[in-house]
Structure 1
């Protein structure tokens, strides 16, 4: 179970921090989040 957890955590980190997404203007999700945060848009505002 720990091995699956570690593999999943690495995959999520790669997906969110290293892999650009065309739908996010070729930014990673983390870059997109930071960009929107700097622009005054917060994820909390969507809730």
Structure 2
């Protein structure tokens, strides 16, 4: 089951990545991992 808060952080990271703001993207993916470390997608994106 996807954690809504973690998924929101992932989506913020995706937006930052699209805008080529890589430091922010990494930070958002890291925040997602801190909320839910069981979802491999967050690690893959980071």
Report the TM-score, using the length of structure 2 for normalisation: 0.36
More helix by proportion, 1 or 2?
Answer: 2
Higher relative contact order (CA 8 A, sep 6+): 2
Larger gyration radius, structure 1 or structure 2? 1
Report the TM-score, using the length of structure 1 for normalisation: 0.35
